[in-house]
A and B are shown apart, each in its own frame.
Chain A
Amino acid sequence: MAGFQGAAPLVRVRGETPLLPHPRRAADTDAMRLIAMIARRCLWMPPTLFGLLLIVFAVSHVIPSDPARIMAGENATADQVAAIRHQYGLDQSLPMQFLHYVDDVLHGDMGTSLFTQRPVAEDLIARLPATMELALYAMALAVLAGVPLGVVAALRRNTWFDHVVRLVTVAGLAMAAFWLAILLQLLFSMWLGLTPVQGRIDGWGPDPITGFFTIDAVLRGDWQTLFDAVRHLVLPTLTLALPAIATIVRFTRAGMINVMSSNFVFYQVAMGIPRHRIVWKYLLRAALIGTLTQIGLIFGNLIAGAVVVETVFDWPGLGSFAVNSILHSDYNAVMSFTVFAGVIFILTNLAVDIAQTLLDPRER
């Protein structure tokens, strides 16, 4: 590294001897490795996206014997079917159709909805904030409730508290989301009258800045709207969050129990470090790595769960768009929703991968 004797060291910072491994250079290579790692993860994006499009194309064009027939709807005449077949290029060879499809999607063109006659991509983007608002609040609730519950359940292992938490998590994972949604609606909206039955807001939402009603209301200082938006948010968020809470509790609890018996904890106890500090600082950090790996999966499940939850609460997001498209046999819209959800899912997983690389030194 330092070259032969008498030669100037390659990198020299004033006041430091070049004999020891250079601290800054070590940090540099570390950062380089990290960037390389992240770049490698990003490189997997295009093939995964390509595979996603291939699957959706196979589902929409190869499985059905006559896609034009399905696209045209049940009551279409032979002429209409033929027109659609020509209009969408379905009379070309399958590989050609696939190339056209990939080309269109890459240009942000997901075709036109057969029901609304509007570009599907526009509809999806317009509905994205509603779903995101719901999913992010559910995620926040899941983490804020799940992590402390998991920690306390681990600390009070096999007490009544642990058993109650376990019962709730087992039930939370086994409950059909649509059923929980309907029960909550029945109890809080219909019988107690505390929350609205359906919808995202009464009347029109605040003028969009971010598209998140709660944030927009705060930014505009419109507290009445904020209150209304929150009232509409409570039940769908709760429904969506419950399975996520259950997953986080289970992972946090298992992680905590796993770490609790390790040597560094004995050492810290012996050193007289206060118990709450050991638990909430050192133990939790080690235990949460396992939970973090699940965050990507949980978020994906939230987007998927939104399909059902939005339907019950008539929440104007991506999920209810997909279900409405199913009801109208709006074939193109359903397929585009699949691609869209897949892309969100892939991006989330990429972000989680990168976050994990940054947080967990063992990953490097």
Chain B
Amino acid sequence: MKRLLRDRSALFGLVIIVVLVLCAIFAGVLAPFPQDVTTYHLPRRLLGPNAVNYFGTDRMGADIFSRLLFGARLTILIAVIATSAAVLIGVPIGLVAGYYNNRFSDLLMRVSDVFLAVPQIVLAIAIAQTLGPAIQNVILALSITYWPFWARLVYAETRSVRNEVFIEAAVALGASPLRVMVLHVLPSIASSVIVRTTIGLGGTILVAAALGFLGLGPPPPTPEWGRMVAESREFLPQAWWYAAAPGLAILLVVMGFNLLGDGLRDALDPRLSRGNDGP
């Protein structure tokens, strides 16, 4: 933890995420116009940034800053639920497939490989399109497309600790496979799962925003950041703030998770190099 706090960029990431969470929790208090998520004031539409509307107003005359704050709530909700679901599906599958070495574990890995054979956003588009635009469908589409990343990671890590002496010792003492997996294998691979999950949260937010931008996210008037950018397009180049503000929010938040993930990687596991793969 100390090492993490000394890493300035990781600290910056952490600060962004804390601010995001605070914004999401206190959106109702912080937003100057909390009612602007659903109501509109057409006379005040498309005003530039000013002292009342810090980031200007949108096509309905709603305060963009207030909508962004409520959008933070939605973003966190989607990212956390979808990523947790992907972790909860992927980690057990990776553990079982990595621990045993038989036909079944091969099959599990083959299945996750097939999922990895389709670009994530493409599969997410197909699923979201089938289910229709709604928050829970976006979450479902993201979880279904993301679990193989964790399965692959946990599989590889489990394989590499599988033959360590401490695992052998646990097995020799008569521990059941489940016990070995949960109490011995899992803790020793937890750090890489945590790192991947942190970076994965950022990736999930990006894909969720892209779905929103393409019109597959939650329907209006939900203040979804991707949808807000899409709405702004017909008012360019005049209403530049309308497009700039939500995109900047996405950039900052995703950057926050990526920087924190990098910092965690360096702090928890110096072996791992700073690459970037997966979500």
Taking the closest CB of chain B, its distance from the CB of A131, in whole angstroms, is: 12
Whole-angstrom CA separation of A346 from B114 in the bound complex: 9
Q: Is B277 a contact of A297 with CB atoms below 8 Å?
A: yes
Known contacts A174-B254, A326-B129; A308 and B274 CB within 8 A of each other? no
Whole-angstrom CA separation of A51 from B250 in the bound complex: 34
- Residues on the A chain within 8 Å of B273, using CB: 254, 258
- Residues on the A chain within 8 Å of B127, using CB: 59, 63
State whether the Cβ of B81 lies closer than 8 Å to any Cβ in chain A. no
Q: Which of A191, A304, A345 has the most CB of B within 10 A?
A: A304
Question: Which of B202, B226, B275 interacts with A290 by CB under 8 Å?
Answer: B275
Taking the closest CB of chain A, its distance from the CB of B224, in whole angstroms, is: 12
9 closest A-B pairs by CB: A179-B247, A51-B114, A304-B119, A190-B237, A174-B254, A174-B255, A342-B118, A338-B126, A254-B273
State whether the Cβ of B100 lies closer than 8 Å to any Cβ in chain A. no
State whether the Cβ of A98 lies closer than 8 Å to any Cβ in chain B. no
Q: Is B110 a contact of A51 with CB atoms below 8 Å?
A: yes
- Count of A residues near B, CB < 8 Å? 61
Whole-angstrom CA separation of A173 from B250 in the bound complex: 11
Residues of A333-360 whose CB lies within 8 A of B: 334-335, 337-338, 341-342, 345-346, 349
Whole-angstrom CA separation of A182 from B247 in the bound complex: 10
- Residues on the A chain within 8 Å of B255, using CB: 170-171, 174
Q: Is A304 a contact of B120 with CB atoms below 8 Å?
A: yes
Residues of chain A at the chain B interface (Cβ within 8 Å): 47-48, 51-52, 54-56, 59-60, 63-64, 70, 170-171, 173-180, 182-183, 185-186, 190-191, 246-247, 250-251, 253-254, 258, 290, 294, 297, 300-301, 303-305, 307-308, 311-312, 322-323, 326-327, 331, 334-335, 337-338, 341-342, 345-346, 349
Q: A300-B119, A342-B117 are in contact. List 10 more A-B contacts (CB 8 A).
A: A48-B113, A51-B110, A60-B126, A176-B247, A176-B251, A179-B247, A290-B275, A307-B125, A323-B214, A334-B125
- Residues on the B chain within 8 Å of A185, using CB: 236
Q: Is A47 a contact of B214 with CB atoms below 8 Å?
A: no
Whole-angstrom CA separation of A62 from B210 in the bound complex: 25
User: For residue B240, which residue of chain A has the nearest CB?
Assistant: A186
Taking the closest CB of chain B, its distance from the CB of A173, in whole angstroms, is: 6
Q: Is B240 a contact of A308 with CB atoms below 8 Å?
A: no
State whether the Cβ of B267 lies closer than 8 Å to any Cβ in chain A. no
State whether the Cβ of B92 lies closer than 8 Å to any Cβ in chain A. no
Question: Which of B115, B129, B243 interacts with A182 by CB under 8 Å?
Answer: B243
Known contacts A51-B111, A186-B236; A247 and B122 CB within 8 A of each other? no
Whole-angstrom CA separation of A251 from B130 in the bound complex: 37
Whole-angstrom CA separation of A180 from B118 in the bound complex: 24
Q: Which of B9, B118, B123, B214 has the most CB of A within 10 A?
A: B118
Taking the closest CB of chain B, its distance from the CB of A167, in whole angstroms, is: 9
- Residues on the B chain within 8 Å of A191, using CB: 237
State whether the Cβ of B176 lies closer than 8 Å to any Cβ in chain A. no
Q: Is B275 a contact of A334 with CB atoms below 8 Å?
A: no
